[in-house]
Amino acid sequence: MTGLYERHPYPGKLIVVEGIDGSGKSTQLRLIHRWLEAAGYRVFFTEWNSSELVRRAIRRGKKKGLLTPTTFSLLHAADFADRLIYQIMPPLKGGMIVLADRYAYTAFTRDVARGVDPQWVREVYSIAPRPDLALYFRVPIEASLERVLTGRQKLKYYEAGMDLRLANEATESFRIFQSRILELYDALTHEFDLKVIDAVRDIDEQQQVVRQLVMDVIRGVEPKKPYERQSLLRQRPAVQKNGRA
C-alpha cells in the first residue's frame, strides 16, 4: 500500500477530513469550501457514500438488514473506487483543490471496528493517493453523542453499531462502537500524519486553525477564475437498463 505513504505527483491538492460521527468535520469542510471559492480557487467537493452506482444498494441493504460487516466494507470500497476514478483524480490532475468529506481512513476505522481484517481493508484501498492534508477532528464520545442527538430523536441503526449486537440500547451501543472507532483513529494519527484538531473548541477557533493548515498546503497554487467543473470530470459511460454500457 504505497499510495497512502508516498506523495502523489499531481498538480492539484487533496484535502480530507476525518472523525467520528458528531465531530463537526463536515461543518468545517463546508466553511473551507466557501472560503477557498471566495478567494478564487478552483475547488471540487466529494463525500463518502455518494456514488450513484452504490448509494442505492447501500440504502436497500440497510433497510432490509442484509449488510454484513464485509459486505458493508465492499460496498463502501466500490463507492470510493468509483468516486476516485470519476471525481477525485480528474480534478486533482487538472490542478484543482479536491475536498473530501471522509477518505480511506474511514474504512480503516469503521470497517475494522466492525471486525473486518485490517490488512485486507488496507489492501482494498491501496489505490488511494496520499492526501496533501488529512485533518482529524477529535471529539470525546459524550460530546459526539450530544451533537448527534441534537435535532433528532434517536440514533441511526448503523451509526450506533446496533448491527454488531454490542448492547441492547442504542445510546450505549453508540458509545461502545464509536469508542472503538475513536481508538483506531488515534492509532492512525502518526502512521498517516493526520493533523489532530480539537473539535471541542469553538467553531470559529477551529476554522482559523484549519485555514492556516490549508494555506500552508496550497501555497503555490494560483487562484483562477472558476469555470464549469464538469469539464475536468471524467465522464462515466452511460448504463443501459440491462446494465451494459
Supply the pLDDT for residue 62: 82
Q: How far is CA 139 from CA 9, 67, 104, 134, in A?
A: 33, 28, 20, 16
Grid coordinates of 115: 471486525
Supply the pLDDT for residue 237: 57
Supply the pLDDT for residue 66: 75
- Structural fold of domain 13-218: Rossmann fold (3.40.50)
Is the four-CA dihedral 157, 159, 160, 164 of positive or negative sign? Answer: positive
Supply the pLDDT for residue 58: 85
Supply the pLDDT for residue 228: 42
Supply the pLDDT for residue 53: 83
Q: Which residues of the chain have pLDDT under 70?
A: 1-2, 225-245
How would you classify residue 41: left for phi > 0, otherwise alpha for psi between -120 and 50, otherwise beta? beta
What DSSP line would sit under 180-238, residue for residue?
HHHHHHHHHHHHTTPEEEETTS-HHHHHHHHHHHHHHHHTTPPP-----GGGGSPPPPP
Grid coordinates of 245: 454500457
Supply the pLDDT for residue 96: 95
Q: Where are the domains of the chain?
A: 13-218
Supply the pLDDT for residue 225: 59
CB atoms within 10 A of CB 189: 16
Tell me the C-alpha distance between 120 and 77, whole Å.
Answer: 12
